[in-house]
Chain A
Amino acid sequence: MFFLREIHRHPEFRNGMRATASVAPGIAAWGLMTGVAMVKSGMSVLEAVAMTLLVYAGSSQLAAIPLIVAGAPFWVIWATGFCVNLRFVVFSLHLRNYLMHLPRWRRLVNGFLTADLSYALFTGRYSEPAQDAPGRLAQESYLAGNYFLTWVAWNGASLLGIALANWIPGAWGLGFAGVLCLVGVLCSLANTRLRLLAAAIAGSAAVAAYALPLKLNIVVAIAIAVLACFWLEGRRPPPREKLA
């Protein structure tokens, strides 16, 4: 809620921005390439701008691009986007303790703007929710500082990328940069043996079922991989895998 005076005048707002400053160049570089990748994959400038400002979630944006270009039905694109975003569902269970005292519209704005790095920085600084009003305001201000700078870095760089993309020939294949970003995110998520297996099964199934209409191969791939991992979980000795 960086537009509220009581938040952006709070000293913790500056501290939050300072903490984000070290990761902002990385966010900006990723945003820049996402902007280029959207336009070079065939989206119009208006579509790319709308996606940057409204969707505001790098991996689900990039995952949606090939599906949109292929003309997949809307529910397949939304279901895929939701699955890619499921990590935020886990975060929201945690953030609930910090935000429930706020009115709903303020919770939703805070939630929409809190992406991966803001969540990590915020919960790293405040491991416990505040118990009194000044403490809660300080925590909300710190979170707002985190996501304000993130928002500026991501959207500024994405809009620059969209503008630059018009000057870059399509034959260069810069849209592939978006796929490579997803490869990096995929590697970061495959952090247990069963998750690595889920990735391998889903990848193979998506290729094997590629001929299915409506991009249903993605839906089939997710279902097979999740069910296979459920089945394997039941067959394993007590898990030593970390669960988050």
Chain B
Amino acid sequence: MSGVTDPWTLFVIAGLAGITVLARCFFFILDRPWTLPGWAHRALYYAPVAALAGVVVPEIVMSNGHFVASWQDPRIFGAVVGAAIYFWRRSVLATMIAGMAVYLPLHLGLGW
């Protein structure tokens, strides 16, 4: 995968670009006004947070397809500190900086 351009990946990227346009323009693509059914409107409140959690949590606690049993994993410490900083400073940037400030010394310094 590393460094080699794959036509399939470019196809996926082009589709994601279409997804961006579809989501950002959703209700003004068509000329006439329309609405979503009630259940779909309610799903809008939960699906984004569920999708992000579904992607992010395995990236933090799984390794090569297995649950990380050891507590000596720099990702867990970085993510927990990052989340705590978010609720203190309300900034995604602060979350990223603080999380990396925890992750990098554990990963590079202690070799976890």
Contacts and interface: CB of A to CB of B under 8 A. Distances in A.
A107 interface: yes
Interface residues of B, number: 74
Q: Of A63, A80, A184, A187, which is in contact with the most chain B CB atoms at under 10 Å from its CB? A: A184
Interface residues of A: mostly helix, strand, loop or mixed? helix
Contact of B58 (A86, A91, A104, A217): A217
Interface in A6-48: 26, 29-30, 33, 42-47
Contacts of B16: 51, 54-55, 57, 60-61, 64, 77-78, 81
Contacts of A68: 9, 12
Contacts of B29: 104, 107-108
A207 B69 CA distance: 13
Interface range for A: 35 or more
Interface residues of B: mostly helix, strand, loop or mixed? helix
Contacts, number: 290
Interface of B: 1-6, 8-17, 19-29, 31, 33, 39, 42-62, 65, 67, 74-75, 78-79, 82-83, 86-87, 90-96, 99-100, 103-104, 107-108
Given A104-B31, A187-B87, 15 more contacts: A47-B9, A74-B12, A80-B51, A90-B44, A96-B27, A100-B31, A104-B29, A181-B95, A182-B55, A188-B90, A203-B56, A204-B57, A210-B62, A217-B58, A221-B54
